[in-house]
Amino acid sequence: METTTAIPADATPVDPTAPGAKGLKADAIGYISNLVIAVASAAPAYSLAATLGFIVAVTGVGFHAPAVLLVSFIPMLFISLGYRFFNLADPDAGTTFAWVTRAFGPQLGWVNGWAIFLADIIVMASLSVIASTYTFSLWSGHPHTWAIIAGAVAWIVLMTWICYRGIELSARVQTFLLSLEILTLALFAVVSLVKVYSGHPAGSIEVSASWFNPFDLSWSALIAGVLLGIFIYWGWDSGVAVNEESRDRHRGPGKAAVVSTLILLLIYVIVSAAAQAYHGTKFLAANSSDVLNPLGHDVFGSPLDKLLIICVLTSASASTQTTILPTARTTLSMARWEAIPKAFGRVHPRYYTPTFSTVLMGALSIVWTVCLLAFNPKQKVLGDTISALGFSICFYYGFTGLACAVYFRRDLLKSARNFFLAGLIPVLGGIMMGYIGVKAYSYYSTPGNNYSHALLGIQTPILVGVGGLILGVILMFASWPFFGGYFSRPWWEAADPAVLEADAKHRPEPLLPGEPPEIERPHHRIP
């Protein structure tokens, strides 16, 4: 059963795709929840545990891992500004899908919606497997593959149920898990650095300013490191996907997107510097599949070393939940825009959450996870699917940056602020994402740079990443005859000039006379 927003009989008809008209619970969460969901979705502890060792192992990077993380942050910050300005004008739960549709047309909009869906399904296997593996690690277990699969399925089911039960419950769970995660990482960094400077453990080295200088790296080493660094920042856009359920839906989620990238930068730079200072880069490279577990044993000792195991466990489980949230809302929005079947647009009459979309996301994640592990118990293909994520990330982040300038094109020359913040910077972010995507294709196409063997001469990251996007294009054309209303909609829309004017003055734009307060008019126009 779908919920609908009540509209007075004498009111001007409102677009059912408009923010606030999709049946989600309005004003359910505040800015802090937006920020928590954004940071938690990036899974800081899990991302560091799974990626830092590979970054330092890149030839020419070594102790300059913090510098790589600094550079990886730049395109993410630029794209987050695009999200902020788009959200000011159109706080649609479909985010990139809705925004690219307005700026570049329904065809590209549909494929970008697919890219979000694809990336989130792919990553669910890795997140749930990590959550399962670390659950067994609490008791020093070495489970069979089928036990790991069972644990992964259990975590997906649990987090799907939480997402189904309402955004408030999801936000409360995220706040608890992220607080535990950040406190543990902070404690790890402090204890590590104190021991480095006071006890000088074997293999330790004091922090140097050169570690943070990207100009000490060759261009090839820097780009190879950034290909890995991009992944650990991805996910902050989940805080924007819950915009229609936020109290300050125009400003709060967009602000959280920008601030979350800054918080992630701080966490990554500090923890990476502390980790390599304690035992050096050789130790991290030798334990590249998981650097925090062995470091925790040496830094904290038993039994406190379990803290980092719990930290990575909560990180992966929290990100599992915050991956389901945006995917379900993207497909909900696509259904309300009549771009995919109406079933995806169902909303629970009591919990005000997407029902069919949430359950389907959980079910597909289970199928994907079980298949990957059952047919590849050594998890080599699983590792390559994580590399494949980069293509979808670069695709929809990049198009969001480019679309922002197109959407606000009529207002960019009205002030330097508009030109740089709503135009040039998001475009530069989009170009950076495109460049990273091209370099990733070149890198992962080279035999020896992947975990698994090629299939029909195509490397697994290319097959899953690029092949998945091509599949999206095919599905878009297949959907076209069935959703003619969406695919025939006008495009090349432009933002209402009042959006940037109001933002510059830090005041909300008033509603049109007679417009119901619970439905905000879309801030866009068609030339």
Question: Which has the minimum average pLDDT: 31-35, 117-121, 138-142, 295-299?
Answer: 138-142
In the predicted model, what is the mean pLDDT of residues 24-37? 95
Rounded CA separation 332/336 (Å): 6
Rg (CA), the chain: 23
Of 183-197, 221-235, 480-494, 497-511, minimum mean pLDDT range: 497-511
Residue with more model confidence, 199 or 438 = 438
- Spatial contact of 465 and 387, defined as CB atoms under 8 Å apart: yes
Which pLDDT tens digit goes with each residue over 300-315? 988 888 888 899 999 9
Task: Please report which confidence band the pLDDT of residue 509 belongs to, taking 50, 70 and 90 as the band edges.
Answer: very low
Confidence at residue 510, expressed as pLDDT on a 0 to 100 scale: 40
Secondary structure of 188-224 as H, E, C letters: HHHHHHHHHHHCCCCCCCCCCHHHHCHHHCCHHHHHH
Q: What is the mean pLDDT of residues 106-117?
A: 98
The confidence score (pLDDT) of residue 10 equals: 43
At 511, the pLDDT band (50, 70, 90 cuts) reads very low
Indicate the pLDDT class of residue 527, thresholds 50, 70 and 90.
Answer: very low
Whole-number pLDDT of residue 491: 86
- As a whole number of angstroms, the distance between CA 347 and CA 159 comes to 18
Cα–Cα distance between 301 and 125 in angstroms, integer? 31
Give yes or no for residue 232 having a pLDDT over 50.
yes
Mean per-residue pLDDT, 289-298: 87
C-alpha 116/C-alpha 327 separation (Å) is: 7
Least confident piece of the model among 123-132, 289-298, 429-438: 289-298
- 224 pLDDT more than 70: yes
pLDDT at 140: 67
Structure tokens at 488: 């025939």
Q: What pLDDT, on a 0 to 100 scale, did the predictor assign at position 3?
A: 39
Alpha helices in 408-483 (DSSP H): 416-417, 425-444, 460-461, 467-479
DSSP 324-342: HHHHHHHHHHHHHTTSS-G
Q: Read off the pLDDT band of 453 (50, 70, 90).
A: confident
Round the average pLDDT of the chain to a whole number and report it: 90
pLDDT, one tens digit per residue, over 362-404 is 999 999 999 998 888 777 788 888 889 999 999 999 999 999 9
CA distance 368 to 129: 11
Token pair, residue 185, equals: 């990482």
In this prediction, residue 16 carries a pLDDT of 64
Q: What is the mean predicted confidence (pLDDT) over 315-334?
A: 94
Q: Sketch out the chain's domains with CATH numbers.
A: 31-502 (1.20.1740.10)
Task: Please report the pLDDT score of residue 519 as a whole number.
Answer: 38
d(CA 444, CA 451): 10
Residue 513 has pLDDT above 60, yes or no: no
CA-to-CA distance for 439 and 436, rounded, in angstroms? 5
Average pLDDT of the residues in 215-229: 91
List pLDDT tens digits, range 52-66: 998 999 989 999 999
Query: Could you report the per-residue pLDDT of 73-89, keeping only the tens digit for each?
Result: 999 999 999 999 999 99
Tell me: pLDDT of 522 over 50: no
Is residue 328 within 8 Å of residue 117, measured between CB atoms? no
Question: Is the bond into 303 cis (omega within 30 degrees of 0)?
Answer: yes
Q: Which amino acid is at 240?
A: V
Name the strand (E) or helix (H) holding 371.
helix 355-375
| Burial grade of 526 (CB within 10 A; 0-12, 13-18, 19 or more) | exposed
Nearest-angstrom CA–CA distance, 392 and 253: 22
- Flag the least confident range among 72-76, 405-409, 444-448: 444-448
What are the phi and psi torsion angles at 458 (to 5°)?
-110, 125
CA 72 to chain centre: 14
Give the side-chain half-sphere CA count within 13 A for 449.
21
Q: What is d(CA 430, CA 87) in angstroms, rounded to the nearest whole number?
A: 17
Residue 362: per-residue pLDDT: 96
pTM beyond 0.85: yes
Question: What is the percentage of the chain residues whose pLDDT exceeds 70?
Answer: 92
228 vs 318: CA distance, rounded Å: 21
Checking if the pLDDT of 13 tops 60, the result is: no
